[in-house]
A and B are shown apart, each in its own frame.
Chain A
Amino acid sequence: MNRNSKKRPSMTSGGAQGRLAYFTGRALTNIRQNIFVNVVTVGTITLALLIVSLFMLLFVNLENAAENWSEKVQVTIYFDKELTPQEQTDIKNRITVLPATSKVNWVSRDEALKRFKGRLKGQETLLEGIRPEVLPTSFEISLKKANRSSEDIELYVGRLKGIPGIGEIQYGEEWVRRFNTFLTFMRIIGLLVGGFLVLAVVFIVSNTIQLTIYARRDELEIMSLVGATRMFIKIPFLIEGLLQGIAGGVIALLLLLSIHLLFLHNAGNFLTFNPATAGLSFLPSSYIAGLLLAGALLGFVGSLAALRRFINEIAD
Protein backbone atom coordinates (compact mmCIF):
# COMPACT_ATOMS: atom_id res chain seq x y z
CA MET A 1 0.00 0.00 0.00
CA ASN A 2 2.84 2.31 0.88
CA ARG A 3 4.50 1.90 -2.47
CA ASN A 4 1.17 2.49 -4.10
CA SER A 5 0.29 5.63 -2.25
CA LYS A 6 3.71 7.04 -2.98
CA LYS A 7 3.00 6.89 -6.68
CA ARG A 8 -0.50 8.16 -6.39
CA PRO A 9 -0.86 11.90 -6.69
CA SER A 10 -2.79 13.19 -3.76
CA MET A 11 -4.30 16.45 -2.71
CA THR A 12 -2.57 18.28 0.06
CA SER A 13 -4.81 19.99 2.51
CA GLY A 14 -5.21 23.13 0.43
CA GLY A 15 -3.82 25.97 -1.57
CA ALA A 16 -3.68 26.57 -5.28
CA GLN A 17 -0.16 25.19 -5.37
CA GLY A 18 -1.19 21.93 -3.77
CA ARG A 19 -4.03 21.59 -6.23
CA LEU A 20 -1.79 22.33 -9.19
CA ALA A 21 0.69 19.76 -7.94
CA TYR A 22 -2.15 17.26 -7.57
CA PHE A 23 -3.53 17.90 -11.04
CA THR A 24 -0.09 17.77 -12.65
CA GLY A 25 0.65 14.53 -10.83
CA ARG A 26 -2.70 13.18 -11.96
CA ALA A 27 -1.95 14.21 -15.56
CA LEU A 28 1.45 12.50 -15.48
CA THR A 29 -0.07 9.34 -13.99
CA ASN A 30 -2.77 9.44 -16.66
CA ILE A 31 -0.12 9.65 -19.36
CA ARG A 32 1.62 6.62 -17.89
CA GLN A 33 -1.61 4.68 -17.59
CA ASN A 34 -2.80 5.57 -21.09
CA ILE A 35 0.51 5.38 -22.85
CA PHE A 36 -0.84 4.17 -26.20
CA VAL A 37 -3.38 6.93 -26.54
CA ASN A 38 -0.73 9.48 -25.61
CA VAL A 39 1.74 8.14 -28.14
CA VAL A 40 -0.92 8.43 -30.83
CA THR A 41 -1.74 12.02 -29.90
CA VAL A 42 1.87 13.16 -29.56
CA GLY A 43 2.70 11.40 -32.83
CA THR A 44 -0.11 13.16 -34.66
CA ILE A 45 0.85 16.55 -33.29
CA THR A 46 4.50 15.89 -34.15
CA LEU A 47 3.73 14.94 -37.74
CA ALA A 48 1.34 17.84 -38.16
CA LEU A 49 3.85 20.37 -36.86
CA LEU A 50 6.67 18.78 -38.85
CA ILE A 51 4.70 19.25 -42.06
CA VAL A 52 3.91 22.85 -41.19
CA SER A 53 7.47 23.59 -40.12
CA LEU A 54 8.94 22.06 -43.29
CA PHE A 55 6.69 24.36 -45.24
CA MET A 56 7.78 27.27 -43.07
CA LEU A 57 11.42 26.35 -43.67
CA LEU A 58 10.83 26.39 -47.40
CA PHE A 59 8.99 29.69 -47.21
CA VAL A 60 11.58 31.36 -44.99
CA ASN A 61 14.34 30.32 -47.36
CA LEU A 62 12.46 31.50 -50.41
CA GLU A 63 12.02 34.85 -48.67
CA ASN A 64 15.71 34.91 -47.83
CA ALA A 65 16.61 34.15 -51.41
CA ALA A 66 14.23 36.82 -52.60
CA GLU A 67 15.92 39.24 -50.25
CA ASN A 68 19.30 38.32 -51.66
CA TRP A 69 18.01 38.88 -55.14
CA SER A 70 16.51 42.18 -54.20
CA GLU A 71 19.93 43.34 -53.07
CA LYS A 72 20.47 43.58 -56.78
CA VAL A 73 17.94 46.35 -56.94
CA GLN A 74 20.48 49.06 -57.35
CA VAL A 75 20.45 52.57 -58.66
CA THR A 76 23.59 53.59 -60.54
CA ILE A 77 24.57 57.15 -61.41
CA TYR A 78 27.11 57.42 -64.20
CA PHE A 79 29.42 60.37 -64.73
CA ASP A 80 31.41 60.77 -67.93
CA LYS A 81 34.19 62.57 -66.11
CA GLU A 82 36.32 61.83 -63.08
CA LEU A 83 34.90 63.80 -60.16
CA THR A 84 37.18 65.80 -57.91
CA PRO A 85 37.31 64.46 -54.34
CA GLN A 86 35.38 67.58 -53.28
CA GLU A 87 32.57 66.91 -55.80
CA GLN A 88 32.58 63.26 -54.84
CA THR A 89 32.00 63.84 -51.12
CA ASP A 90 29.51 66.59 -51.90
CA ILE A 91 27.28 64.42 -54.07
CA LYS A 92 27.78 61.38 -51.86
CA ASN A 93 26.60 63.32 -48.83
CA ARG A 94 23.53 64.59 -50.62
CA ILE A 95 22.66 61.04 -51.68
CA THR A 96 23.29 59.62 -48.23
CA VAL A 97 20.84 61.99 -46.55
CA LEU A 98 17.95 60.67 -48.69
CA PRO A 99 15.93 58.45 -46.35
CA ALA A 100 15.71 55.45 -48.68
CA THR A 101 19.47 55.21 -49.18
CA SER A 102 21.09 52.20 -47.59
CA LYS A 103 24.60 52.19 -49.03
CA VAL A 104 26.50 54.42 -51.46
CA ASN A 105 29.57 53.13 -53.20
CA TRP A 106 31.91 55.17 -55.44
CA VAL A 107 33.26 53.29 -58.45
CA SER A 108 36.34 54.95 -59.91
CA ARG A 109 37.55 54.39 -63.47
CA ASP A 110 40.25 51.99 -62.29
CA GLU A 111 37.75 50.03 -60.24
CA ALA A 112 35.38 49.92 -63.23
CA LEU A 113 38.12 48.55 -65.46
CA LYS A 114 39.06 45.95 -62.87
CA ARG A 115 35.45 44.73 -62.73
CA PHE A 116 35.21 44.69 -66.46
CA LYS A 117 38.33 42.56 -66.69
CA GLY A 118 36.97 40.28 -64.03
CA ARG A 119 33.88 39.71 -66.08
CA LEU A 120 35.85 38.88 -69.19
CA LYS A 121 38.11 36.39 -67.49
CA GLY A 122 40.01 34.32 -70.00
CA GLN A 123 39.42 36.85 -72.72
CA GLU A 124 41.53 39.64 -71.28
CA THR A 125 43.17 40.09 -74.66
CA LEU A 126 39.99 41.80 -75.82
CA LEU A 127 40.72 44.59 -73.42
CA GLU A 128 44.25 45.21 -74.50
CA GLY A 129 44.67 48.85 -75.32
CA ILE A 130 41.57 49.88 -73.47
CA ARG A 131 42.35 52.59 -71.01
CA PRO A 132 40.36 53.38 -67.90
CA GLU A 133 39.33 56.74 -69.34
CA VAL A 134 36.84 55.10 -71.69
CA LEU A 135 34.82 53.85 -68.82
CA PRO A 136 32.47 56.04 -66.84
CA THR A 137 32.81 56.60 -63.12
CA SER A 138 29.72 55.94 -61.04
CA PHE A 139 27.94 55.88 -57.71
CA GLU A 140 26.23 52.56 -56.89
CA ILE A 141 23.36 52.98 -54.47
CA SER A 142 21.65 50.20 -52.56
CA LEU A 143 18.21 50.93 -51.23
CA LYS A 144 16.67 50.09 -47.89
CA LYS A 145 14.55 46.93 -47.86
CA ALA A 146 11.31 48.82 -47.48
CA ASN A 147 12.00 51.04 -50.46
CA ARG A 148 12.61 48.53 -53.19
CA SER A 149 9.21 48.60 -54.88
CA SER A 150 8.93 50.08 -58.38
CA GLU A 151 6.99 53.13 -57.17
CA ASP A 152 9.47 53.88 -54.40
CA ILE A 153 12.39 53.58 -56.76
CA GLU A 154 10.84 55.97 -59.24
CA LEU A 155 10.20 58.43 -56.44
CA TYR A 156 13.78 58.03 -55.30
CA VAL A 157 15.18 58.55 -58.76
CA GLY A 158 13.10 61.72 -59.02
CA ARG A 159 14.78 63.04 -55.89
CA LEU A 160 18.24 62.10 -57.17
CA LYS A 161 17.61 64.10 -60.30
CA GLY A 162 17.19 67.14 -58.12
CA ILE A 163 20.80 66.97 -56.96
CA PRO A 164 22.95 69.35 -59.00
CA GLY A 165 25.86 67.84 -60.94
CA ILE A 166 24.17 64.45 -61.15
CA GLY A 167 24.84 62.34 -64.22
CA GLU A 168 22.86 59.68 -66.00
CA ILE A 169 20.74 57.51 -63.74
CA GLN A 170 20.12 53.84 -64.48
CA TYR A 171 18.08 51.18 -62.70
CA GLY A 172 16.51 48.02 -64.08
CA GLU A 173 12.90 49.29 -64.23
CA GLU A 174 11.50 46.30 -66.02
CA TRP A 175 13.45 43.85 -63.89
CA VAL A 176 12.36 45.51 -60.66
CA ARG A 177 8.73 45.43 -61.67
CA ARG A 178 8.81 41.78 -62.61
CA PHE A 179 10.68 40.86 -59.51
CA ASN A 180 8.16 42.62 -57.31
CA THR A 181 5.26 40.93 -59.08
CA PHE A 182 6.96 37.61 -58.55
CA LEU A 183 7.43 38.34 -54.85
CA THR A 184 3.79 39.28 -54.37
CA PHE A 185 2.71 36.17 -56.23
CA MET A 186 4.98 33.99 -54.13
CA ARG A 187 3.66 35.44 -50.90
CA ILE A 188 0.03 34.92 -51.92
CA ILE A 189 0.73 31.31 -52.89
CA GLY A 190 2.61 30.84 -49.64
CA LEU A 191 -0.24 32.24 -47.60
CA LEU A 192 -2.82 30.12 -49.41
CA VAL A 193 -0.88 26.87 -49.19
CA GLY A 194 0.19 27.64 -45.62
CA GLY A 195 -3.38 28.52 -44.66
CA PHE A 196 -4.78 25.28 -46.05
CA LEU A 197 -2.00 23.33 -44.40
CA VAL A 198 -2.73 24.88 -41.02
CA LEU A 199 -6.46 24.23 -41.42
CA ALA A 200 -5.83 20.60 -42.33
CA VAL A 201 -3.47 20.18 -39.40
CA VAL A 202 -5.91 21.72 -36.91
CA PHE A 203 -8.66 19.48 -38.25
CA ILE A 204 -6.59 16.31 -38.03
CA VAL A 205 -5.16 17.03 -34.60
CA SER A 206 -8.46 18.08 -33.07
CA ASN A 207 -10.15 14.96 -34.43
CA THR A 208 -7.41 12.73 -33.10
CA ILE A 209 -7.72 14.32 -29.67
CA GLN A 210 -11.50 13.93 -29.81
CA LEU A 211 -11.08 10.24 -30.57
CA THR A 212 -8.58 9.68 -27.80
CA ILE A 213 -10.75 11.46 -25.29
CA TYR A 214 -13.79 9.61 -26.59
CA ALA A 215 -11.90 6.40 -25.90
CA ARG A 216 -11.66 7.53 -22.28
CA ARG A 217 -15.22 8.78 -21.88
CA ASP A 218 -15.82 6.11 -19.20
CA GLU A 219 -13.29 7.94 -17.10
CA LEU A 220 -15.13 11.24 -17.61
CA GLU A 221 -18.43 9.59 -16.77
CA ILE A 222 -17.19 7.87 -13.63
CA MET A 223 -15.55 11.04 -12.36
CA SER A 224 -18.80 12.86 -12.89
CA LEU A 225 -20.81 10.15 -11.14
CA VAL A 226 -18.69 10.22 -8.00
CA GLY A 227 -19.25 13.95 -7.71
CA ALA A 228 -16.30 15.57 -9.46
CA THR A 229 -16.90 19.11 -10.65
CA ARG A 230 -16.38 19.82 -14.33
CA MET A 231 -13.18 21.68 -13.56
CA PHE A 232 -11.85 18.76 -11.56
CA ILE A 233 -12.49 16.41 -14.46
CA LYS A 234 -11.11 18.76 -17.07
CA ILE A 235 -7.92 20.11 -15.55
CA PRO A 236 -5.80 16.92 -15.66
CA PHE A 237 -6.91 16.34 -19.25
CA LEU A 238 -6.01 19.91 -20.17
CA ILE A 239 -2.58 19.60 -18.57
CA GLU A 240 -2.19 16.34 -20.43
CA GLY A 241 -3.14 18.07 -23.70
CA LEU A 242 -0.71 20.88 -23.00
CA LEU A 243 2.12 18.43 -22.31
CA GLN A 244 1.25 16.43 -25.42
CA GLY A 245 1.32 19.60 -27.49
CA ILE A 246 4.64 20.76 -26.11
CA ALA A 247 6.13 17.29 -26.55
CA GLY A 248 4.85 17.20 -30.13
CA GLY A 249 6.33 20.63 -30.79
CA VAL A 250 9.73 19.73 -29.34
CA ILE A 251 9.93 16.42 -31.20
CA ALA A 252 8.85 18.07 -34.45
CA LEU A 253 11.55 20.72 -34.03
CA LEU A 254 14.20 18.11 -33.28
CA LEU A 255 13.17 16.14 -36.36
CA LEU A 256 13.22 19.30 -38.45
CA LEU A 257 16.65 20.16 -37.13
CA SER A 258 17.92 16.66 -37.97
CA ILE A 259 16.45 16.84 -41.47
CA HIS A 260 18.03 20.24 -41.89
CA LEU A 261 21.45 19.14 -40.67
CA LEU A 262 21.44 15.90 -42.63
CA PHE A 263 20.00 16.95 -45.96
CA LEU A 264 19.09 20.55 -46.39
CA HIS A 265 21.70 22.88 -44.99
CA ASN A 266 23.96 22.52 -48.02
CA ALA A 267 21.38 21.66 -50.63
CA GLY A 268 20.01 25.03 -51.55
CA ASN A 269 22.72 26.53 -53.74
CA PHE A 270 20.32 26.86 -56.62
CA LEU A 271 18.18 29.27 -54.64
CA THR A 272 20.67 32.02 -54.26
CA PHE A 273 23.25 33.93 -56.27
CA ASN A 274 25.31 34.89 -53.30
CA PRO A 275 27.84 32.20 -52.37
CA ALA A 276 28.21 33.64 -48.88
CA THR A 277 24.66 32.63 -47.98
CA ALA A 278 24.64 29.35 -49.87
CA GLY A 279 22.55 26.61 -48.32
CA LEU A 280 19.19 26.69 -46.58
CA SER A 281 19.11 28.48 -43.28
CA PHE A 282 17.14 27.13 -40.29
CA LEU A 283 14.02 28.79 -38.91
CA PRO A 284 14.53 32.06 -37.07
CA SER A 285 13.97 31.89 -33.32
CA SER A 286 10.62 33.67 -33.48
CA TYR A 287 9.31 30.92 -35.77
CA ILE A 288 10.66 28.25 -33.41
CA ALA A 289 8.91 29.89 -30.46
CA GLY A 290 5.76 30.18 -32.58
CA LEU A 291 5.90 26.50 -33.44
CA LEU A 292 6.24 25.43 -29.81
CA LEU A 293 3.40 27.74 -28.85
CA ALA A 294 1.28 26.35 -31.68
CA GLY A 295 1.94 22.83 -30.40
CA ALA A 296 0.93 23.74 -26.85
CA LEU A 297 -2.18 25.52 -28.12
CA LEU A 298 -3.14 22.62 -30.37
CA GLY A 299 -2.95 20.20 -27.46
CA PHE A 300 -4.72 22.47 -25.03
CA VAL A 301 -7.51 23.83 -27.22
CA GLY A 302 -8.04 20.45 -28.89
CA SER A 303 -8.55 18.84 -25.49
CA LEU A 304 -10.75 21.68 -24.29
CA ALA A 305 -13.08 21.37 -27.28
CA ALA A 306 -13.30 17.59 -27.01
CA LEU A 307 -13.89 17.72 -23.25
CA ARG A 308 -16.60 20.31 -23.53
CA ARG A 309 -18.40 18.10 -25.99
CA PHE A 310 -18.13 14.83 -24.09
CA ILE A 311 -18.70 16.23 -20.64
CA ASN A 312 -21.93 17.80 -21.85
CA GLU A 313 -22.87 14.50 -23.38
CA ILE A 314 -22.39 12.47 -20.22
CA ALA A 315 -23.82 15.06 -17.90
CA ASP A 316 -27.03 15.72 -19.80
Chain B
Amino acid sequence: MIQFHNVSLAYQRDATALKDISLRIAKGEFVFLTGPSGAGKTTMLRLIYGALVPSRGQVLIDGQNVSRLTRSQLPFLRRTIGVVFQDFKLLQNRTVFENVAITLEVQGLGSRADIGKKVMHVLRQMGMENKVQLTPPRLSGGEQQRVALARALVNEPKILLADEPTGNLDDANKMQILNIFKEANIKGTTVVVATHDRRLIENAHYRPIRLHNGELADEGEAVDEQKQ
Protein backbone atom coordinates (compact mmCIF):
# COMPACT_ATOMS: atom_id res chain seq x y z
CA MET B 1 0.00 0.00 0.00
CA ILE B 2 2.62 2.51 1.13
CA GLN B 3 6.24 2.02 0.13
CA PHE B 4 9.31 4.14 0.78
CA HIS B 5 12.34 3.30 -1.37
CA ASN B 6 15.59 4.88 -0.17
CA VAL B 7 13.81 8.13 0.52
CA SER B 8 15.90 11.12 1.58
CA LEU B 9 14.70 14.62 2.01
CA ALA B 10 16.73 17.75 2.61
CA TYR B 11 15.10 21.04 3.37
CA GLN B 12 17.00 23.83 1.72
CA ARG B 13 19.51 24.93 4.33
CA ASP B 14 18.74 22.72 7.28
CA ALA B 15 20.27 19.39 7.87
CA THR B 16 18.70 16.41 6.16
CA ALA B 17 15.18 15.76 7.42
CA LEU B 18 15.03 12.13 6.31
CA LYS B 19 17.92 9.82 5.47
CA ASP B 20 17.61 6.84 3.22
CA ILE B 21 14.32 5.45 4.48
CA SER B 22 13.02 2.18 3.05
CA LEU B 23 9.77 0.89 4.37
CA ARG B 24 6.60 -1.03 3.52
CA ILE B 25 3.22 -0.61 5.09
CA ALA B 26 0.80 -3.28 3.93
CA LYS B 27 -2.80 -2.75 2.96
CA GLY B 28 -5.07 -2.83 6.00
CA GLU B 29 -2.19 -2.46 8.42
CA PHE B 30 -2.19 -0.22 11.50
CA VAL B 31 1.18 1.32 12.34
CA PHE B 32 2.53 3.85 14.76
CA LEU B 33 5.21 6.24 13.60
CA THR B 34 7.15 7.12 16.71
CA GLY B 35 10.20 9.00 17.77
CA PRO B 36 11.09 12.24 19.50
CA SER B 37 10.04 15.63 18.16
CA GLY B 38 11.98 16.52 15.04
CA ALA B 39 12.64 12.89 14.16
CA GLY B 40 10.82 13.27 10.84
CA LYS B 41 7.38 11.84 11.59
CA THR B 42 5.40 14.73 10.13
CA THR B 43 7.75 14.86 7.16
CA MET B 44 7.03 11.22 6.39
CA LEU B 45 3.29 11.83 6.52
CA ARG B 46 3.63 14.83 4.24
CA LEU B 47 5.55 12.75 1.73
CA ILE B 48 2.69 10.25 1.69
CA TYR B 49 -0.01 12.81 0.83
CA GLY B 50 2.20 14.59 -1.64
CA ALA B 51 2.78 17.87 0.18
CA LEU B 52 6.51 17.23 -0.06
CA VAL B 53 8.61 15.66 -2.75
CA PRO B 54 11.62 13.54 -1.73
CA SER B 55 15.08 14.79 -2.72
CA ARG B 56 16.05 11.20 -3.46
CA GLY B 57 14.18 7.92 -3.64
CA GLN B 58 10.53 7.19 -4.25
CA VAL B 59 7.31 7.09 -2.30
CA LEU B 60 4.77 4.70 -3.81
CA ILE B 61 1.10 4.58 -2.91
CA ASP B 62 -0.65 1.56 -4.42
CA GLY B 63 2.30 1.26 -6.76
CA GLN B 64 1.98 4.89 -7.90
CA ASN B 65 5.00 7.18 -7.55
CA VAL B 66 3.69 10.21 -5.65
CA SER B 67 6.33 12.64 -6.91
CA ARG B 68 5.50 11.72 -10.50
CA LEU B 69 1.89 12.83 -10.14
CA THR B 70 0.94 15.95 -12.05
CA ARG B 71 -0.79 18.89 -10.46
CA SER B 72 -4.09 17.67 -11.75
CA GLN B 73 -3.53 14.09 -10.58
CA LEU B 74 -2.53 14.92 -7.03
CA PRO B 75 -6.06 15.84 -5.85
CA PHE B 76 -7.25 12.37 -6.82
CA LEU B 77 -4.58 10.73 -4.66
CA ARG B 78 -5.54 12.96 -1.77
CA ARG B 79 -9.18 11.94 -2.04
CA THR B 80 -8.15 8.42 -1.09
CA ILE B 81 -6.21 9.60 1.94
CA GLY B 82 -7.78 11.05 5.07
CA VAL B 83 -5.44 13.24 7.07
CA VAL B 84 -5.82 14.44 10.65
CA PHE B 85 -3.40 17.30 11.15
CA GLN B 86 -1.68 18.17 14.36
CA ASP B 87 -3.22 21.65 14.26
CA PHE B 88 -6.52 20.24 12.88
CA LYS B 89 -6.64 22.71 9.97
CA LEU B 90 -10.32 23.38 10.26
CA LEU B 91 -11.94 26.28 8.42
CA GLN B 92 -12.52 28.72 11.25
CA ASN B 93 -15.51 30.50 9.76
CA ARG B 94 -17.39 27.45 8.57
CA THR B 95 -19.61 25.28 10.69
CA VAL B 96 -18.73 21.78 11.89
CA PHE B 97 -21.11 20.43 9.28
CA GLU B 98 -19.49 22.39 6.44
CA ASN B 99 -16.01 21.45 7.58
CA VAL B 100 -16.85 17.78 7.27
CA ALA B 101 -18.95 18.09 4.13
CA ILE B 102 -16.07 19.71 2.27
CA THR B 103 -14.36 16.35 1.76
CA LEU B 104 -17.38 15.10 -0.16
CA GLU B 105 -18.09 18.37 -1.94
CA VAL B 106 -14.66 18.62 -3.51
CA GLN B 107 -15.26 15.24 -5.07
CA GLY B 108 -18.65 16.26 -6.38
CA LEU B 109 -20.04 13.13 -4.81
CA GLY B 110 -23.73 12.65 -4.47
CA SER B 111 -26.69 14.92 -4.00
CA ARG B 112 -27.18 17.31 -1.15
CA ALA B 113 -29.22 14.78 0.74
CA ASP B 114 -26.55 12.09 0.32
CA ILE B 115 -23.81 14.36 1.55
CA GLY B 116 -25.93 15.46 4.48
CA LYS B 117 -26.64 11.86 5.45
CA LYS B 118 -23.01 10.79 5.34
CA VAL B 119 -21.81 13.83 7.24
CA MET B 120 -24.38 13.38 9.97
CA HIS B 121 -23.56 9.70 10.21
CA VAL B 122 -19.88 10.26 10.82
CA LEU B 123 -20.52 13.18 13.18
CA ARG B 124 -22.83 10.95 15.21
CA GLN B 125 -20.03 8.38 15.44
CA MET B 126 -17.81 11.10 16.86
CA GLY B 127 -20.50 12.21 19.28
CA MET B 128 -20.66 15.62 17.64
CA GLU B 129 -24.20 15.54 16.29
CA ASN B 130 -25.33 18.32 18.61
CA LYS B 131 -22.68 20.75 17.54
CA VAL B 132 -23.04 20.68 13.77
CA GLN B 133 -23.86 24.36 13.55
CA LEU B 134 -21.01 25.65 15.69
CA THR B 135 -17.81 27.02 14.23
CA PRO B 136 -14.43 25.63 15.42
CA PRO B 137 -13.50 28.56 17.68
CA ARG B 138 -16.47 27.62 19.87
CA LEU B 139 -15.32 24.03 20.30
CA SER B 140 -12.87 22.53 22.77
CA GLY B 141 -9.60 21.03 21.57
CA GLY B 142 -10.97 17.50 21.85
CA GLU B 143 -14.08 18.46 19.89
CA GLN B 144 -12.04 20.07 17.14
CA GLN B 145 -9.96 16.91 17.01
CA ARG B 146 -13.08 14.86 16.45
CA VAL B 147 -14.30 17.19 13.70
CA ALA B 148 -10.93 16.84 11.99
CA LEU B 149 -11.25 13.08 12.32
CA ALA B 150 -14.78 13.14 10.93
CA ARG B 151 -13.56 15.13 7.94
CA ALA B 152 -10.79 12.60 7.33
CA LEU B 153 -13.10 9.60 7.58
CA VAL B 154 -16.32 10.77 5.96
CA ASN B 155 -15.47 9.39 2.53
CA GLU B 156 -14.07 6.12 3.90
CA PRO B 157 -10.50 6.64 2.68
CA LYS B 158 -8.08 3.86 1.82
CA ILE B 159 -5.45 5.41 4.05
CA LEU B 160 -5.83 7.39 7.24
CA LEU B 161 -2.90 9.50 8.41
CA ALA B 162 -2.94 11.15 11.82
CA ASP B 163 -0.30 13.48 13.20
CA GLU B 164 -0.12 13.51 17.01
CA PRO B 165 -3.87 12.96 17.26
CA THR B 166 -3.87 12.63 21.03
CA GLY B 167 -1.50 15.50 21.72
CA ASN B 168 -3.69 17.49 24.05
CA LEU B 169 -6.40 15.06 25.03
CA ASP B 170 -7.13 13.46 28.39
CA ASP B 171 -6.98 9.68 28.76
CA ALA B 172 -10.70 9.08 28.19
CA ASN B 173 -10.63 11.09 24.98
CA LYS B 174 -7.44 9.35 23.86
CA MET B 175 -9.02 5.95 24.13
CA GLN B 176 -12.12 7.13 22.31
CA ILE B 177 -10.00 8.42 19.42
CA LEU B 178 -7.95 5.23 19.38
CA ASN B 179 -11.15 3.23 19.13
CA ILE B 180 -12.28 5.25 16.16
CA PHE B 181 -8.94 4.49 14.45
CA LYS B 182 -9.39 0.81 15.24
CA GLU B 183 -12.89 0.77 13.79
CA ALA B 184 -11.70 2.39 10.60
CA ASN B 185 -8.89 -0.14 10.44
CA ILE B 186 -11.28 -3.01 10.87
CA LYS B 187 -13.29 -1.69 7.92
CA GLY B 188 -10.13 -1.97 5.83
CA THR B 189 -8.50 1.45 6.06
CA THR B 190 -4.72 1.45 6.35
CA VAL B 191 -3.92 3.58 9.40
CA VAL B 192 -0.68 5.45 10.10
CA VAL B 193 -0.56 7.34 13.37
CA ALA B 194 2.42 9.56 14.14
CA THR B 195 2.78 9.95 17.88
CA HIS B 196 5.30 10.09 20.68
CA ASP B 197 2.67 9.03 23.18
CA ARG B 198 4.17 5.90 24.76
CA ARG B 199 0.98 4.86 26.52
CA LEU B 200 -1.03 4.97 23.37
CA ILE B 201 1.46 2.70 21.62
CA GLU B 202 1.68 0.29 24.53
CA ASN B 203 -2.09 0.07 24.87
CA ALA B 204 -2.73 -0.60 21.24
CA HIS B 205 -0.21 -3.31 20.38
CA TYR B 206 0.29 -2.28 16.82
CA ARG B 207 3.54 -2.23 14.90
CA PRO B 208 5.68 0.74 15.92
CA ILE B 209 8.03 2.27 13.37
CA ARG B 210 10.63 4.28 15.20
CA LEU B 211 12.44 7.26 13.69
CA HIS B 212 15.46 8.97 15.13
CA ASN B 213 17.10 12.05 13.61
CA GLY B 214 15.52 11.32 10.26
CA GLU B 215 16.69 7.73 10.15
CA LEU B 216 14.75 4.55 10.58
CA ALA B 217 15.72 3.26 14.02
CA ASP B 218 13.33 0.35 14.22
CA GLU B 219 10.93 -0.94 11.63
CA GLY B 220 8.88 -2.91 14.15
CA GLU B 221 8.16 -6.56 14.36
CA ALA B 222 5.08 -6.68 12.28
CA VAL B 223 7.20 -6.31 9.15
CA ASP B 224 8.37 -9.87 9.54
CA GLU B 225 4.84 -11.05 10.07
CA GLN B 226 3.83 -9.31 6.87
CA LYS B 227 6.61 -10.90 4.91
CA GLN B 228 5.67 -14.39 5.98
A: which residues have CB within 8 A of B?
Answer: 1, 3-5, 8, 10-14, 19, 22, 33-34, 218-219, 221-230, 232, 315
Contact at A225–B89, with CB atoms within 8 Å?
Answer: yes
Contact at A5–B116, with CB atoms within 8 Å?
Answer: yes
Output the residue of A14, A223, A225 with the most chain B CB within 10 A: A225
* Given pairs A4-B133, A33-B93, 14 additional interface contacts (CB within 8 A): A1-B133, A4-B97, A8-B112, A10-B115, A14-B108, A224-B75, A224-B78, A226-B78, A227-B103, A227-B106, A227-B107, A228-B106, A315-B71, A315-B74
Assess A229 versus B49: contact at CB under 8 Å? Given A10-B111, A218-B91. Answer: no
Instruction: Tell me, yes or no, whether B132 is within 8 Å of chain A by CB.
Output: yes
A-B contacts at CB below 8 angstroms, number: 85
Contact at B97–A8, with CB atoms within 8 Å?
Answer: yes
Output the residue of B77, B98, B106, B115 with the most chain A CB within 10 A: B106
Contact of A8 among B93, B98, B110 (CB under 8 A): B98
Contact at A12–B112, with CB atoms within 8 Å?
Answer: yes
Q: CA of A10 to CA of B114 in the docked complex: distance in angstroms?
A: 10
Closest beta carbon of chain A to B135's beta carbon, Å: 9
Q: Which residues of A are found within 8 Å of B75, using beta-carbon distances?
A: 224, 227-230, 232
Chain A at the B interface: SS class: helix
Which interface class (under 10, 10 to 19, 20 to 34, 35 or more) fits B? 35 or more
Chain A residue, CB-CB nearest to B152: A226
Q: CA of A8 to CA of B76 in the docked complex: distance in angstroms?
A: 24
Contact of B91 among A14, A219, A229, A315 (CB under 8 A): A219
Q: CA of A1 to CA of B101 in the docked complex: distance in angstroms?
A: 12
Q: CA of A22 to CA of B110 in the docked complex: distance in angstroms?
A: 13
Q: CA of A309 to CA of B131 in the docked complex: distance in angstroms?
A: 36
Contact at B115–A226, with CB atoms within 8 Å?
Answer: no
Instruction: Tell me, yes or no, whether B177 is within 8 Å of chain A by CB.
Output: no
Instruction: Tell me, yes or no, whether B105 is within 8 Å of chain A by CB.
Output: yes
Q: Which residues of B are found within 8 Å of A218, using beta-carbon distances?
A: 89, 91-92
Q: Which residues of B are found within 8 Å of A228, using beta-carbon distances?
A: 75, 106
Q: CA of A14 to CA of B120 in the docked complex: distance in angstroms?
A: 22
Contact at B89–A222, with CB atoms within 8 Å?
Answer: yes
Assess A8 versus B111: contact at CB under 8 Å? Given A224-B75, A225-B49, A227-B78. Answer: no
Q: CA of A91 to CA of B72 in the docked complex: distance in angstroms?
A: 78
Q: Bits for B74-95, please: 1 = Cβ < 8 Å to A, else 0.
A: 1111110001010001111111
Contact at B91–A1, with CB atoms within 8 Å?
Answer: no
